[in-house]
């Protein structure tokens, strides 16, 4: 096979000595001779640069071994010290204090002048500062950058191993193939993105390795401090340290390619995606994806390596992946998915759907193969090398494309169809969160200005100080990507992740598109530092009033002054010449000197008055919070923790197993139990016990990196019926339980709440989408501060039917639809999008359809105080395919009507008309959601279960609904107010 391989890559190898010991191990550990190429079947020797074998005592691809990130970093540092062709430095810290690093590799002259090339690429990234002639010169003389990253998903262990060998090979090998790479491009390598998770993964692997056969294996409970797999879904929110560090590095160095290495398919997938592709991505980038992927497939296929393919995985739609940091900055983001490293040898027997020959898979995986870590190393190292060589051979092309994409972004804002700018009113109702949104956009690379004076463009009145995102800037792609309305036709392949993410909807702030080019000529000043909304106290008097705007900093204000008595108004009232909403904070004996600095810092407005308003009030008592996680999955709950930590909400964190200990009401006033995933029964069961051997998760000599968040001597067993009983007793005794997503189903399934049924509407398709929320009870403390309607995030389930709710849908609907013939134009007929206008009437009458798949939000007026009705009621009845009330499983505690009998209070629900639901994303057969509950307050005994069918704390994106959860916390013992 190798004799037939192209000879160019081998030329010159004879002139360089081979490391015989390392090369022998490569051959020994390879499980199938077809999984290799002439690029990786050997390793050159060096008298000065240590191989992985010399440094670690084993080669990359050794079965049964993994390397800690700290040791990979030590090896990279050794490469830096041993060779002038490499430079190593840190690029940031993780939440747990570990370093993230990068190693730059090129010829020694280039490494010595890295800052020069950094400046060249900065010039090419901004056509406002660089002339066409200068750009042409740079394209012909400078060197592009290719950034390889790996280890973001901690159980995917091969990339960090392989990149050590790749780094050595790029530094040492003298073949023309490698010299072409080294002399023409700069390769950056970050071997481990999720450093905290890598250390835990290696601990976990070696712990499990020592267990006897048949014993239960310890799962990887936590990766980072907050989330697991979702660390690669933080591209828009950018809460996690790893995402911030990646973004900062990208802004500093401006690489042309970011290539992320993953493991989940057989044998190697080179990313292009099935589509639909994100509308904001430049078409040039799409062609670059395909050009690079086809090089991988072709070069590997030429050498007889099976199972290298493209297209049929992922879609290219959602911009929340880490590598989309490239796409928002006119670069190329791509990734591999590879058969797992192991690191133990194993056999692969894929199904026919994986081994069939398809147009995108011309040389498919085999029905059977022996696999191991060396196979993984060979296949992805070879493919990466072919990509690097192609990039080096075509460096001028990719530099030119980078320049053209940057120019097109700027030109789109000057001569395109618009928007020419976006205005974010600085004094809108949620002004503190608007400022937070501006700060986040700036961190990600968008330029923001403020209006020097008031002016009007078209029907939009811009005030002095309003924030303006100009459309004629190099990174306007980010603005297009975030601010547009998504329209994901169900005729497309099944989406890989969320379908809707419109920035201003998720954050519930006004971002107003401007279609008049004249705005670019208005006086404005660049924002160069963090912005703050105006805050402080107006007026005089001993009583302080802070309106409930749902700005999340209100929660920070309350927790910062926990010892200060604060009250909430239970109805709208007027004071200080203005109207305040129900929920307004009232401080009866305010210490202005203490409170005003906090209000200024948080961007909140307070009003001092002579006496308390004549309105019914209750105290905002900060509760003792118990925060429950489940050992079987800690993914989603971390996003809720992130919100609580950010806004200073204290809590006691513990596992569901400890619910069995009882006495909960004596310890806690509120228990938060975020979504876990799975059924109500699986929540109760937890990790199943098999045998008597405990399964501990804790820090020890053998597992020094475990136990940072929580620990246990045995993680098996879940809460059990005993724990569920104690949870029920907690609520009955006056506690408040807050649940969201999957945990919302537990009490209804076990008939612990009355009149609430979990349904499965036939054909419903609502994957990660933004829908309209209708507030049906504006007197409930849970809705304090909110408009009559707001955008909410919903992801398919749970669907809650509440007995007695008006207008439960009686009609039916089919599935998403399918046909035997292939639909090659699934986006030809877009979905009907229901329009949304910030601060305008909440009427859901006869909206006009939006145009295009990624249309900008339509004519949005300035924020106001408009409020509207609830929408019309539909017919009574149950949705097709839905369970009837009381029919859910469990039945442990009582009859089908629930053992308490108290009537639930629906606070928010979906619209009555499916045509009024979809704001951004996708929806099919939305009739199954008609008038179904989004937020329910279910009384149980003296307490309450606050149930979210929507996800108020989804990732770090739904800041606009955080206060639904914060309201539940602040008003935990006054939820009956307004009845």
* Residue 87 shares a structural domain with residue 178: yes
pLDDT at position 563 over 60? yes
- Per-residue pLDDT at 550: 99
Find the domain containing 788 and state its range: 625-701+708-820+831-854+866-970
Give the separation between CA 960 and CA 505, rounded to whole angstroms.
7
CATH number of the domain that residue 362 is part of: 3.40.630.10
Tell me the three-class secondary structure of 235-302, residue by residue. Answer: CCCCCCHHHHHHHHHHHHHCCCEEEEEECCCCCEEECCCCCCCCCCCCHHHHHHHHHHHHHHHHHHHH
Give the separation between CA 926 and CA 949, rounded to whole angstroms.
15
Confidence of residue 896 (pLDDT cuts 50, 70, 90): very low
Instruction: Please check whether residue 285 lies inside any domain of the structure.
Output: yes
- Per-residue pLDDT at 806: 54
Neighbours of 525 (CB within 10 A): 11
% of the chain exceeding 90 in pLDDT: 87
pLDDT at position 725 over 90? yes
Domain boundary among 555, 589, 619: 619
pLDDT in tens, 382-434: 999 999 999 999 999 999 999 999 999 999 999 999 899 999 999 999 999 99
Contacting residues for 284 by C-beta, under 8 A, at least 6 apart: 401, 404, 405
pLDDT at position 263 over 70? yes
pLDDT in tens, 134-174: 999 999 999 999 999 999 999 999 999 999 999 999 999 99
Confidence of residue 816 (pLDDT cuts 50, 70, 90): low
Instruction: Please check whether residue 69 lies inside any domain of the structure.
Output: yes
Token digits of residue 575: 């004071």
Backbone angles phi, psi at 419, to 5 degrees: -60, 150
Instruction: Please check whether residue 215 lies inside any domain of the structure.
Output: no
pLDDT at position 872 over 90? no
Instruction: Please check whether residue 232 lies inside any domain of the structure.
Output: no
Give the separation between CA 247 and CA 254, rounded to whole angstroms.
10
Q: What is the mean pLDDT of residues 216-223?
A: 93
Backbone angles phi, psi at 734, to 5 degrees: 110, 5
pLDDT at position 627 over 70? yes
Q: What is the mean pLDDT of residues 673-702?
A: 93
Total domains in the chain come to 4
Give 532: exposed, middle or buried? Use CB within 10 Å, 0-12, 13-18, 19+.
Answer: middle
* Residue 615 shares a structural domain with residue 677: no
pLDDT at position 620 over 70? yes
**Cα dihedral 888/893/896/902 (nearest 10):** -110
Confidence of residue 873 (pLDDT cuts 50, 70, 90): very low
Q: What is the mean pLDDT of residues 754-762?
A: 96
Highest mean pLDDT: which range of 294-308, 835-849, 859-873, 899-913: 294-308
Instruction: Please check whether residue 697 lies inside any domain of the structure.
Output: yes
- Per-residue pLDDT at 900: 64
Which residues are paired to 935 by β-bridges? 908, 948
* Residue 642 shares a structural domain with residue 597: no
Domain boundary among 475, 506, 526: 526
Average confidence score pLDDT of the chain: 92
* Residue 646 shares a structural domain with residue 513: no
* Residue 309 shares a structural domain with residue 272: yes
Instruction: Please check whether residue 979 lies inside any domain of the structure.
Output: no
Q: What is the mean pLDDT of residues 763-790?
A: 98
Instruction: Please check whether residue 825 lies inside any domain of the structure.
Output: no
Instruction: Please check whether residue 225 lies inside any domain of the structure.
Output: no
pLDDT at position 841 over 60? no
In the block, which residue shows the tokens 């950056």? 188
Contact of 35 with 1, CB cutoff 8 Å: no
Contacting residues for 632 by C-beta, under 8 A, at least 6 apart: 219, 676, 678, 682, 686, 687, 718
Confidence of residue 1 (pLDDT cuts 50, 70, 90): very low
- Per-residue pLDDT at 635: 84
Confidence of residue 7 (pLDDT cuts 50, 70, 90): very low
pLDDT at position 863 over 60? no
* Residue 598 shares a structural domain with residue 503: no
Give 192: exposed, middle or buried? Use CB within 10 Å, 0-12, 13-18, 19+.
Answer: buried
* Residue 338 shares a structural domain with residue 397: yes
- Per-residue pLDDT at 838: 85
Q: What is the mean pLDDT of residues 537-548?
A: 98
pTM score: 0.93
% of the chain exceeding 70 in pLDDT: 90
* Residue 789 shares a structural domain with residue 908: yes
Count helices and strands (H / E) in the chain: 26, 37
* Residue 470 shares a structural domain with residue 491: yes
Domain boundary among 355, 382, 409: 409
Confidence of residue 899 (pLDDT cuts 50, 70, 90): low
* Residue 503 shares a structural domain with residue 641: no
Which residues are paired to 672 by β-bridges? 627, 738
Q: How many residues belong to the chain? A: 979
- Per-residue pLDDT at 215: 87
Confidence of residue 808 (pLDDT cuts 50, 70, 90): very low
Q: Where are the alpha helices (DSSP H) in 36-88?
A: 52-56, 69-82
* Residue 493 shares a structural domain with residue 580: no
* Residue 662 shares a structural domain with residue 802: yes
Give the separation between CA 320 and CA 433, rounded to whole angstroms.
21
pLDDT at position 177 over 80? yes
- Per-residue pLDDT at 648: 98
- Per-residue pLDDT at 889: 38
Which residues are paired to 790 by β-bridges? 773
């Amino acid at each position: 096979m190798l004799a037939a391989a192209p000879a160019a890559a081998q030329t010159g190898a004879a002139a360089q000595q081979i490391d015989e010991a390392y090369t022998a191990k490569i051959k020994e550990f390879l499980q199938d001779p077809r999984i290799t190429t002439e690029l990786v079947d050997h390793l050159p020797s060096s008298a000065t640069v240590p191989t992985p074998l010399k440094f670690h005592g084993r080669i990359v691809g050794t079965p049964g071994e993994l390397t800690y990130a700290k040791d990979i970093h030590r090896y990279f540092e050794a490469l830096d010290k041993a060779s002038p062709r490499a430079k190593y430095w840190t690029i940031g810290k993780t939440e747990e204090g570990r370093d993230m690093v990068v190693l730059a590799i090129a010829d020694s002259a280039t490494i010595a002048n890295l800052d020069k090339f950094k400046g060249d690429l900065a010039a090419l990234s901004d056509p406002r500062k660089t002339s066409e002639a200068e750009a042409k010169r740079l394209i012909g003389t400078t060197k592009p950058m290719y950034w390889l990253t790996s280890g973001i998903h901690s159980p995917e262990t091969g990339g960090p191993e392989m990149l050590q060998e790749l780094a050595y090979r790029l530094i040492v090998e003298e073949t023309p193939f490698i010299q072409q790479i080294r002399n023409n491009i700069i390769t950056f390598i970050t071997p481990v993105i999720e450093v905290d998770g890598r250390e835990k993964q290696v601990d976990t692997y070696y712990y499990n390795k020592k267990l006897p056969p048949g014993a239960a294996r310890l799962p990887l409970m936590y990766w980072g401090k907050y989330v697991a797999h979702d660390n690669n879904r933080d591209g828009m929110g950018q809460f996690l340290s790893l995402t911030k560090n990646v973004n900062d590095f990208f802004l500093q160095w401006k690489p042309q390619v970011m290539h992320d290495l993953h493991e989940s398919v057989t044998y190697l997938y080179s990313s292009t995606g099935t589509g639909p592709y994100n509308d904001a991505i430049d078409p040039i980038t799409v062609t670059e994806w395909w050009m690079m992927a086809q090089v991988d497939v072709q070069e590997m296929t030429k050498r007889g390596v099976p199972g290298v393919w493209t297209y049929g995985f992922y879609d290219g739609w959602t911009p929340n992946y880490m590598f989309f940091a490239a796409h928002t900055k006119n670069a190329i983001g791509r990734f591999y998915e590879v058969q797992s490293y192991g690191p133990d040898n194993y056999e692969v027997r894929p199904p026919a759907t994986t081994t069939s020959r398809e147009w995108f898979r011309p040389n498919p995986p085999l029905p059977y193969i022996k696999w191991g870590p060396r196979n993984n190393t060979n296949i992805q190292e070879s493919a990466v090398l072919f990509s690097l060589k192609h990039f080096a051979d075509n460096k001028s092309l990719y530099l030119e494309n980078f320049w053209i994409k940057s120019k097109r972004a700027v030109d789109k804002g000057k001569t395109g169809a618009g928007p020419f700018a976006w205005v974010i009113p600085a004094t809108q109702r949620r002004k503190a969160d608007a400022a937070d949104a501006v700060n986040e956009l700036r961190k990600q690379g968008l330029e923001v200005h403020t209006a020097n004076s008031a002016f009007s463009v078209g029907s939009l009145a811009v005030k002095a100080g309003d924030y303006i995102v100009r459309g004629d800037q190099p990174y306007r792609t980010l603005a297009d990507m975030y601010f547009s309305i998504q329209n994901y036709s169900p005729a497309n392949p099944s989406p890989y992740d969320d379908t809707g993410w419109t920035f201003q909807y998720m954050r519930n702030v006004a971002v107003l598109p401007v279609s008049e080019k004249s705005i670019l000529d208005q006086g404005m000043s660049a924002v160069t530092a963090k912005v703050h909304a105006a805050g402080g106290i107006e007026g005089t008097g001993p009583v302080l009033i802070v309106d409930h705007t749902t700005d999340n900093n209100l929660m920070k204000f309350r927790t910062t002054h926990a010892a200060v008595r604060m009250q909430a108004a239970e109805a709208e009232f007027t004071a200080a010449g203005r109207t305040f909403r129900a929920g307004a904070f009232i401080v009866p004996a305010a210490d202005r000197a203490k409170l005003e600095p906090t209000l200024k810092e948080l961007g909140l407005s307070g009003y001092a008055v002579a006496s308390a308003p004549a309105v019914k009030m209750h105290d905002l008592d900060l509760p003792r919070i118990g925060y429950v996680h489940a050992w079987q999955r800690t993914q989603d709950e971390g996003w809720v923790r992130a919100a609580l930590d950010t806004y200073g909400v204290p809590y006691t964190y513990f596992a569901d197993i400890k619910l069995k200990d009882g006495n909960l009401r004596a310890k806690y006033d509120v228990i938060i139990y975020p979504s876990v995933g799975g059924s109500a029964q699986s929540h109760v069961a937890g990790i199943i016990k098999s045998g008597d051997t405990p399964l501990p998760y804790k820090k020890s000599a053998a597992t020094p990196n475990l136990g940072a968040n929580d620990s246990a001597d045995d993680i098996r067993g879940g809460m059990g019926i005993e724990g569920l009983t104690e949870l029920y007793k907690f609520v009955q005794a006056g506690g408040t339980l807050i649940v969201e997503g999957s945990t919302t189903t537990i009490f209804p399934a076990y008939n612990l709440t009355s009149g609430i049924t979990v349904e499965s509407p036939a054909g419903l398709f609502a994957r990660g989408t933004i829908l309209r929320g209708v507030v049906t009870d504006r007197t409930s403390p849970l809705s304090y501060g909110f408009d009559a309607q707001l955008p909410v995030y919903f992801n398919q389930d749970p669907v809650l039917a509440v007995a007695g709710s008006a207008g439960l849908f009686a009609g039916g609907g089919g599935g998403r639809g399918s046909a035997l013939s292939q639909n090659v134009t699934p986006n030809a007929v877009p979905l009907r999008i229901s329009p949304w206008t910030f601060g305008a009437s909440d009427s859901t009458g006869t909206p006009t359809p939006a145009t295009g798949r990624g249309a900008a939000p339509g004519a949005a007026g300035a924020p106001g105080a408009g409020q509207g009705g609830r929408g019309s009621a539909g017919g009574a009845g149950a949705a097709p395919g839905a369970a009837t009330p009381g029919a859910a499983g469990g039945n442990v505690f009582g009859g089908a009507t629930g053992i308490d009998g108290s009537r639930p209070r629906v606070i928010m629900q979906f619209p009555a008309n499916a045509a009024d639901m979809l704001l951004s994303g996708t929806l099919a057969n939305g009739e199954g959601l008609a008038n179904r509950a989004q937020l329910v307050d279910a009384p149980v005994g003296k307490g309450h279960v606050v149930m979210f069918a929507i996800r108020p704390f989804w990732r770090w994106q739904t800041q606009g609904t955080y206060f639904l959860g914060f309201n539940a916390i602040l008003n935990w013992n006054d939820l009956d107010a307004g009845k």
